[in-house]
Amino acid sequence: MAVNDNKIQNNLSKQNVLLYIMPQKIQKRRLEDMKTGAKKKGIQISQNYSSSVTHVVSEFTNLEQVLRILEVKTEAEIKDQHIVKIAWFIESIKAGHPVPVEIQHKIQLIMPKIQEEEKNVEPVIPEWACQRATPFKHFNEQFTEPLEILEKYAELRDQEQDYSRALAFRRASCVLKSLPYKVTNISSLKNIKDIGGHSSRVIKEILEDGYCQEVEDIVNDPWFHKMKLFSSIFGVGPSTAKKWIEKGWNNLQDINIEDLRNDWRVIWGVAFHEELMDSVSRTEADVFAQIVREEAEKILPGVSVVLTGGFRRGKPIGHDVDLLLTHPDVGSEIGLLATLLQRLEEKELILCGNHERSSFSPEVYQRDFKLSMRGQLDHFEKWLGICKFPKTFIEGCSDILTQINVTKKSVIKGSLDDCDEPKTKFRKLSSKALSPVDVFKSKRDWKARRVDLIISPFDQHYYALVGWTGNKHFNRDLRLYSQRVLNMKLTSHGLYDLSKNVTVPASSEKEVFENLNLTFREPSDRNC
């Protein structure tokens, strides 16, 4: 904005003034009156905005709006022009000549409220992620996406031995997701302890250059591409992916099925990789959940089937369908999963999977929690596998339930004969079975989708619900917080008070948070 020298102002003659009245927000009639009034006083009016205009009169209260409409990119472009309120115009008409522009006449730049917060108020950020609301949609994707690439890279590089580097990037990303404004200034982050030196440098670089070179290098690193590709295969973790790269494998075609040590998950995972990489839509997940609910209800009336995981946190798509099953009568859930799997098999909804028996014993309450991905594994009875979703699911057919023919016999059976299948015994195998690759290539009216079915006894259910709702980082933070702050051990099976040596029950999800002395967070605010 021009800083006005009053002497110059006072010497302004009417001839030196060219007015442009912005028509926006001014009624047509009033605008005409204003123009007529100006002409009567001999003040020149321009019909259009141009650089020769000396005064822009507007009803807008924020300079930002004026500049946007005038299509002015920077304030420097208007340094010789006055952007003034209607009040200046009225005073000028009254005075019979353009009055000097005083501070009260100027239309000022009003920063949006969210940015004001960033500048003026030191944000109060709770120390733990589980004490903050972390929504799925937030203001700082520009930074969190690159930070999570660094996290992923560190995770793949260092793996289990050293998860701390990966974690540092995630912490920074997580805290940025919880900020109610877009970060525009690195200094506003200086007191946030979750943003360490490395992350801070990354954010600064993005603010200055629009990108971070280190992240660009990772994105273009062939090793990273291969690691991401291989570890995205069902049943393949980072250590297997590394071994494959060491063998010189570069893509899916290089994978030698013979070399897969008969791991059924990997065999199916490779064959169906392309399809499993498709996102699962919320509609598909809901249709499948409803089928499971109806079947489970027939087996065990009163059963509860909850769609958990990312969908429960409000994500519109996911990589799988996570269903948590329980029944208010503790013990009645035993045997449910085996029967349910049989029913789903009869309906030809199952491609392959592994039914794991429960490995729970009360001592898991006290077991050491490690700061690792493995630390999140639980001991519930569960089935992790791949289901066949008829294409009609995907299109979201409303009368879908009637379309699944219960009596139809499965023609396609996967060959699992040679596979080691620990604790799995529900699947009958046909000797004439097609190979997974043949199944993939066959003409079929279904798509392969990853499904997790988990059974929790009701007295552990609400802890299981929190655990299986996630996200993973929210859980990890919650567990670490419980341990460090409360001296309590939290798992998907329950909460164990290490000082008193007792378990702390919960009869709702809210009670889980109460027991942890935390404000309740809706699942949609657990997207750390």
For residue 319, give both structure tokens: 């990589």
If DSSP codes are grouped into helix, strand and coil, which group holds residue 352? Answer: strand
Nearest by Cα to 384 from 328, 431, 426, 447: 426
Which of Mn ion, ligand CTP, none has residue 198 at its interface (CB below 5 to 8 Å by kind)? none
Q: Which residue has the tokens 């001999």?
A: 42
DSSP conformational letter for 130 = G
Regarding 155 and contact with ligand CTP (CB under 6 A), the answer is: no
Least separation in angstroms between residue 326's CB and ligand CTP is 15
Round to whole Å and give the CA distance between 146 and 140.
11
Round to whole Å and give the CA distance between 54 and 16.
8
Least separation in angstroms between residue 288's CB and Mn ion is 12
Closer by beta carbon to ligand CTP, 118 or else 320: 320
Q: Which amino acid belongs to residue 400?
A: I
Number of residues that bind ligand CTP (CB under 6 A): 17
For residue 161, give both structure tokens: 């031995």
Closer by beta carbon to ligand CTP, 86 or else 528: 528
Which of Mn ion, ligand CTP, none has residue 525 at its interface (CB below 5 to 8 Å by kind)? none
Helix orientation angle between 197-209 and 164-178, rounded to the nearest 10 degrees? 50
Regarding 472 and contact with ligand CTP (CB under 6 A), the answer is: yes
What is each CA distance from 79 to 59, 83, 187, 424, in whole angstroms?
A: 20, 10, 28, 76
Closer by beta carbon to ligand CTP, 146 or else 318: 318
Which of 385, 436, 470, 523 is the binder for ligand CTP (CB under 6 A)? 470
Which of Mn ion, ligand CTP, none has residue 178 at its interface (CB below 5 to 8 Å by kind)? none
Residue 378 half-sphere exposure toward CB, CA atoms < 13 A: 23
Least separation in angstroms between residue 257's CB and ligand CTP is 26
322 annotated to a ligand binding site = yes
Regarding 460 and contact with ligand CTP (CB under 6 A), the answer is: no
Regarding 424 and contact with ligand CTP (CB under 6 A), the answer is: no
Regarding 492 and contact with ligand CTP (CB under 6 A), the answer is: yes
Regarding 304 and contact with ligand CTP (CB under 6 A), the answer is: no
Least separation in angstroms between residue 422's CB and ligand CTP is 15
Do 353 and 422 touch, CB atoms closer than 8 A?
no
Do 494 and 360 touch, CB atoms closer than 8 A?
no
Residue closest to ligand CTP when measured from CB atoms = 470
Regarding 310 and contact with ligand CTP (CB under 6 A), the answer is: yes
DSSP per position, 228-247: HHHHTSTT--HHHHHHHHHT
Choices 10-18, 79-87, 218-226, 467-475; region in contact with ligand CTP by CB under 6 A: 467-475
DSSP conformational letter for 98 = P
Closer by beta carbon to ligand CTP, 427 or else 526: 526
Report the site for ligand CTP in 314-333 (rule: CB under 6 A).
Answer: 315, 318-320, 322
Least separation in angstroms between residue 3's CB and ligand CTP is 55
Round to whole Å and give the CA distance between 357 and 343.
18
Round to whole Å and give the CA distance between 414 and 430.
8
What's the gap between Cα 26 and its chain centre? 43
Round to whole Å and give the CA distance between 451 and 305.
13
Do 112 and 65 touch, CB atoms closer than 8 A?
no
Regarding 269 and contact with ligand CTP (CB under 6 A), the answer is: no
- What residues line the site for Mn ion (CB under 5 A)? 309-310, 318, 320, 322, 452
Regarding 146 and contact with ligand CTP (CB under 6 A), the answer is: no
320 annotated to a ligand binding site = yes
Do 66 and 55 touch, CB atoms closer than 8 A?
no
Regarding 353 and contact with ligand CTP (CB under 6 A), the answer is: no
Least separation in angstroms between residue 333's CB and ligand CTP is 18
418 annotated to a ligand binding site = no
What's the gap between Cα 413 and its chain centre? 36
Regarding 288 and contact with ligand CTP (CB under 6 A), the answer is: no
Round to whole Å and give the CA distance between 172 and 191.
12
Strand duo 55-58 + 18-21: pairing: parallel
Least separation in angstroms between residue 236's CB and Mn ion is 15
Angle at 28 between CA 26 and CA 31, to 5 degrees: 65
Choices 149-157, 229-237, 250-258, 462-470; region in contact with ligand CTP by CB under 6 A: 462-470
Least separation in angstroms between residue 387's CB and ligand CTP is 14
Report the site for ligand CTP in 357-396 (rule: CB under 6 A).
Answer: 376-378
Which of Mn ion, ligand CTP, none has residue 467 at its interface (CB below 5 to 8 Å by kind)? ligand CTP
Round to whole Å and give the CA distance between 308 and 327.
16
DSSP conformational letter for 50 = -
Regarding 471 and contact with ligand CTP (CB under 6 A), the answer is: yes
Binding residue positions for Mg(2+): 320, 322, 452
Query: What residue ranges bind ligand CTP (CB under 6 A)?
Result: 309-310, 315, 318-320, 322, 376-378, 467-468, 470-472, 475, 492
Binding residues, by number, are 320, 322, 452
